[in-house]
Amino acid sequence: MSTFWVACAVIVSLYVAFWHYFKATTWCRSQTCLIGKTAIVTGANSGIGYETALDFAKRGARVILACRDKNRAEVAKMKIVKETDNENVVVKIVNLASFDSVRDFAKNINETEERLDILVNNAGLGGVKDDKSDDGLLLVMHVNYLSAFLLTYLLIDLLKKTGPSRVINVSSIAARFTNFDVDLINNYTGAYTIYANSKLCNLLFTMELAKRLKETEITTYCVNPGVVQTEIFRHVKGYSKVFINIFKEDFFKTCEEGAQTTIYTAVTKNIEEYNGCLFDNCKVVDTYPTADVKGLPKKLWEKSVKFVELKPEEIMY
Ligand SMILES: NC(=O)c1ccc[n+]([C@@H]2O[C@H](COP(=O)([O-])OP(=O)(O)OC[C@H]3O[C@@H](n4cnc5c(N)ncnc54)[C@H](OP(=O)(O)O)[C@@H]3O)[C@@H](O)[C@H]2O)c1
């Protein structure tokens, strides 16, 4: 065989292998109806969060779009209502870079909503350097993890009262590839590392939350959505940006594809035995070795309680 044909075979094989690894999608086939149920999706105005909210609205849920920008959220709401004919889609504003805003949002939910069946901690950002949040913490860690921790914590009573209910935490494959030190979660160690650490925190939080709530009807699942063509990469610069632009069309999942595992864990019946587990492509997978460290989820929980400065009247678990 000539060198030309060998090269062609290698290129095609690589293409197929990459396609299969990144793009192949298992679809959520659950027909679960959500009429009468309430779901909150953070970061629901774009990407994976938008597709998740759209799916819940199609199933008849009351869907709360928890977003920071009123205009973007209202545009998303209009599109969802138009596509689903479900008028029960509402926008509630929360800035996950501020613990005060999270507390105000949770207070509003606890005072105005009768039930909460599904909470999806989806909002996130990446490719950001050492920018600080309103509370002076690393922005990425604050938005991607610490606010999700606080929000969930403050909504536990409502989730408990509603039960069975579910909390879904959106993580990333990046959580597998990081050198994590729980004592340094607020130390800047590079844009990739801080993102990966925050996504590992999402997984560790899921594991510990499941343990602490095992006597309740709340279950919790962690999701790796895959690599998805969303706006999350807008802050990425340099060679990484070039790489993303070359590969995204062929190899990254569409937003709808990327939302499938989140939707699966939120609506599929009889997955409670996997409480606290990690899901990828609509199936349960082994936890990442970076999370499989004795005592680490508990240590992170205790550290998080300090970071979010839980008030005495808030401490329950
Ligand atoms: N895309 C991927 O390949 C990929 C891979 C693994 C994991 N994930 C995870 O998937 C989740 C969803 O991201 P995406 O890919 O769908 O990206 P996206 O389209 O950029 O969506 C992120 C959402 O988070 C919101 N957000 C950011 N900062 C916020 C803040 N301070 N307060 C409230 N909301 C805030 C954004 O709101 P604005 O529109 O106002 O900025 C947006 O709605 C993230 O947790 C991400 O880490 C994504």
How many Å apart are CA 19 and CA 285, to the nearest integer? 20
Residues 6+ apart with CB under 8 A from 115: 37, 38, 158, 161, 162
N-terminal to C-terminal alpha carbon distance within the chain: 67
pLDDT at residue number 1: 65
pLDDT at residue number 244: 80
How many Å apart are CA 128 and CA 248, to the nearest integer? 20
Residue 3 half-sphere exposure toward CB, CA atoms < 13 A: 0
Phi-psi region of 151 (alpha: psi -120 to 50; beta: other; left: phi over 0): alpha
Give the residue among 90, 48, 49, 40 at the shortest CA–CA distance from 70: 90
Q: Does the beta carbon of 137 lie inside 6 Å of ligand 1?
A: no
Q: Does the beta carbon of 122 lie inside 6 Å of ligand 1?
A: yes
pLDDT at residue number 177: 96
The encoded tokens of residue 164 equal 């069975």
Q: Does the beta carbon of 139 lie inside 6 Å of ligand 1?
A: no
- pLDDT tens for the chain, residues 1 to 317: 688 888 888 888 887 777 777 778 899 999 999 999 999 999 999 999 999 999 999 999 999 999 999 999 999 999 999 999 999 999 999 999 999 999 999 999 999 999 999 999 999 999 899 999 999 999 999 999 999 999 999 999 999 999 999 999 999 999 999 989 999 999 999 999 999 999 999 999 999 999 999 999 999 999 999 999 998 888 787 878 887 888 887 889 999 999 999 999 999 999 999 999 999 999 999 999 999 999 999 999 999 999 999 887 887 77
**Residue 195 among the catalytic residues:** yes
pLDDT at residue number 301: 97
Query: If one looks up domain 35-309 in CATH, what number appears?
Result: 3.40.50.720
- For ligand 1, atom 1, name the residue with the nearest CA: 228
Cα 84 to Cα 41, 49, 58, 80, 87: the distances in Å are 17, 16, 5, 6, 8
Alpha helices in the chain (DSSP H): 3-18, 47-58, 70-84, 99-112, 139-141, 147-162, 191-212, 238-251, 255-258, 260-267, 296-307
Distance 161 CA to ligand 1 centre (A): 29
Q: For residue 200, with 0-12 CB atoms within 10 Å meaning exposed, 13-18 middle and 19 or more buried, which class applies?
A: buried
